[in-house]
Amino acid sequence: MAKLVEGKRALIVGVANKRSIAWSIARALDENGASIALTYQNERVEKDVRKLSETLASPGPVVPLDVQDDAQMDASMAEVAAGLGGIDILVHAVAFARQEDLSGRLVDVSRDGFLLSMDISAYSLVALAGRVEPHMREAGGGSIMTLSYIAADRAMPGYTMMGVSKSALESVVRYLAWDLGEAGIRVNAISAGPVRTLAARGIPGFSDMADAIAARTPLRREITTDEVGAAGLFLASDLSSAVTGEAMFVDAGFHAMGL
């Protein structure tokens, strides 16, 4: 059976550990023939990310990437493009809000907290898309995807500022889809259901929320990171050649339910 992304070159931004959704997408792409470049935010996670890269069939560069550092983004993007010979796929899995801005009220979020979350969680996709655009144009097209959550559409207590940032992120997806579509570059989001990742543990009451949501999904269960990885593979492949500007739910059907 032909591999779905054979010969494609992918940059995965946001892998933190082996349980992260970004890593599941990276593995799915790797298993289907893509070369994979990974980024790390700081020295604390560099060792783990490099170890993960070594397990891939077609590892590419592993580079530092702080999405608030324009100079580093320029340098790292150039290193990845040179190491892979181009970029066909970008996976954006970066988001942040201060703890107090998750658990508190929106009216109590400071200007600095608001701007910080929007910068890292939403603007970073704009910044990265602009940097991969020339490489994807040269390749004749490409696929950009990011990770969202249903809190972009509905108020979810305990996810306050991140919900606002995810709303902005999904709007960014739609505008980038329009801007880049004439070059054959598709831009989509995966709106995943709750997954018990390390990052999710920082959300107040996450475990109770995940249990409640699982009981109300049509499939009566939680999702797995591998299921999100499979969705990422679909969006990266030619199977989704006419899909862009979409926020695709991978949540066992929870988004379809009224209660």
Residue type, 7: G
Catalytic residue among 40, 123, 149, 175: 149
Q: Kindly report the number of other CB atoms within 10 A of residue 48's CB atom.
A: 14
CB neighbour list of residue 211: distance below 8 Å, 6 or more residues apart: none
Token digits of residue 34: 């893509």
Whose structure tokens read 């505008």? 175
Do 147 and 190 meet the contact criterion of CB atoms below 8 Å apart? Answer: yes
Catalytic residue among 40, 123, 159, 175: 159
For the question of residue 175 being annotated catalytic, the response is: no
Residue type, 221: R
For the question of residue 149 being annotated catalytic, the response is: yes
Residue 147, helix vs strand vs coil: strand
Which residues are known to be catalytic?
Answer: 149, 159
